[in-house]
Structure 1
Amino acid sequence: MTAHAFEHNPDNLPTEAAIALSPVVFSQIYKPEHNIAIWQRSLSQQLQTEVTETVAAFADLSINAVINQNAIVADIDKALEKLPQAEALKADLVQLVDMFCYLFELNRVGLRLKVLERAMCPRFHVDRVPCRLVSTYSGSGSEWLHNSGLDRSKLGAGNQGLSDQDSGLIAPHTKVQSLTVGDVALLKGETWQGNEGLGLVHRSPQVATGEKRLLLTLDFIA
């Protein structure tokens, strides 16, 4: 996907992306025409090395933690205590949690960092959350659809047992969009005020044999 200052939808439909090479793009998630905001970035060499070593050494890594806004560094150190050498990864998580808390005025967030060898959510779906941060440190990135390229009546039971490709969910000639390694995306969900019935439609990518993903998600905690 080509980076723009911000990419707008002339029809004012949601699920158009705001894309930039700077995290300032995250503020665009507050605009009703944007259901996804993507910060396109490259990971440092040190971070890439740490991620490769982490995935190789901890194939079953699954971290779920509550991170408090007033103790981000300490809480992340504790959550990643089994990864003492992952200093660049910890620093990156601190930065992302701090941004997430600041943007949405949160006192705490739910952090999940997991190694995946299969698609966690292989069907297109929407999330019953206000907004979720997603970033893939290794492996294939999450996939999503523009609102203009789908039929929401085919989500869930509406697919009548057919695949996403065969159910009519995806309009002809619609391209499935993908995040890439390092991208940080905000995905607007169903419970964002005024966004009911319009949450971003997305899914986990298919994982190739032998491939391992390292996925980060951040969520609101009341």
Structure 2
Amino acid sequence: MKAVTSPLREITLQRQSRQAIIGSQAELLTDIYRDDTNIVVWQRRIAEELIQAANYIVETMPRLQTSRTVTPENAHAAVSDVLGASHLMEPLCNDIARLVDMFCCLFDLKRSGLRLITLDRAMCPRFHVDRVPCRLVTTYQGEATQWLPHHLVDRSKLGAGNQGKSAECYDVLKEAAEINQLSRGDVALLKGELWQGNENAGLVHRSPQLECNSRCLLLTLDFAN
């Protein structure tokens, strides 16, 4: 006799299984809608002009922190207002505006929450999940986001489960495994806890520790009301 799986058990099994989808084509970002996926990474080769602009920012704007709500139509102007309308900054402004347009189109949003920040230390050094539907992250300069495969995570060690210990004193991995890390220029969609049907399956990730005197330039995009 064929075994019958109850709808509740089937949903539970689906939540226990999450995969990463990684590739070199921007089109694969649409795979974030797959129920069995909690991270999609578009591995792109970052242009030299973007590297030059990012290097200039981390050297001349070491305390850059800007958070704005933007639309695809005004994103370029908003970023130019922060970075300055110069020949050096134009490629970066264009790239950020393009990502805003892609993000809003993908999720049928009229606007997005944009954060562009220069860091000299890990912003979120502990492994955690985001209480958002989905977040886009990309690092233009420096060490990029680290993340863990869903099936290797012990979620009881997240948040309050670490019992007040520092990030270096507990391990959320069920077994010895390498920590995955994005590369500079990668565009990643990180599915969070507020994505419908993704409860207890949000991607577990953290900011990397930065070496002394090193900085990174990070862009994040979020859903905006």
Q: CA deviation at 1:87?
A: 0.7
Q: Residues 80-130 of structure 1: CA distance to partner in whole angstroms, max 9, x if unpaired?
A: 337673011101101111100100011000111111000000000000100
Q: Name the structure 1 match of 2:25.
A: 22
Q: Name the structure 1 match of 2:9.
A: none
- Is 2:58 the partner of 1:55? yes
Q: Name the structure 2 match of 1:140.
A: 143
Q: In the aligned structure 2, how far is the partner of 1:66 from the partner of 1:107? A: 10
Q: In the aligned structure 2, how far is the partner of 1:165 from the partner of 1:175? A: 15
Shift in alpha-carbon separation, 1:41–1:58, aligned structure 2, 3 A: same
> Secondary structure at 1:123's aligned position in 2?
coil
Q: CA deviation at 1:75?
A: 3.1
> Secondary structure at 1:51's aligned position in 2?
helix
Amino acid paired to 1:127: D
Q: Residues 6-30 of structure 1: CA distance to partner in whole angstroms, max 9, x if unpaired?
A: xxxxx86444211110111110100
- Is 2:116 the partner of 1:113? yes
Q: Name the structure 1 match of 2:95.
A: 92
Q: In the aligned structure 2, how far is the partner of 1:79 from the partner of 1:64? A: 10
TM-score, normalising length from structure 2? Answer: 0.88
Q: In the aligned structure 1, how far is the partner of 2:223 from the partner of 2:213? A: 32
Do the aligned partners of 1:67 and 1:76 also contact (CA within 8 Å) in 2? no
Runs of 4 or more consecutive aligned structure 1 residues displaced over 2 Å after TM superposition: 11-15, 69-85, 161-168
Note the 1:77-88 alignment, pairs <5 A: 77-81=80-84, 85-88=88-91
Shift in alpha-carbon separation, 1:204–1:83, aligned structure 2, 3 A: farther
TM-score, normalising length from structure 1? Answer: 0.89
Do the aligned partners of 1:131 and 1:188 also contact (CA within 8 Å) in 2? yes
Do the aligned partners of 2:192 and 2:198 also contact (CA within 8 Å) in 1? yes
Q: Residues 123-148 of structure 1: CA distance to partner in whole angstroms, max 9, x if unpaired?
A: 00000100000001111110010111
Number of positions where the alignment pairs a residue of Structure 1 with one of Structure 2:
212
Do the aligned partners of 1:68 and 1:75 also contact (CA within 8 Å) in 2? no
Identity of matched residues, %: 45
Q: CA deviation at 1:151?
A: 0.6
> Secondary structure at 1:70's aligned position in 2?
coil
Gaps of 5+ in 2: 1-12
Gaps of 5+ in 1: 1-10
- Is 2:40 the partner of 1:37? yes
Q: Whose radius of gyration is greater, 1 or 2?
A: 2
> Secondary structure at 2:117's aligned position in 1?
strand
Q: Name the structure 1 match of 2:176.
A: 173
Flag the structure with higher helix content.
2
Q: CA deviation at 1:74?
A: 2.9
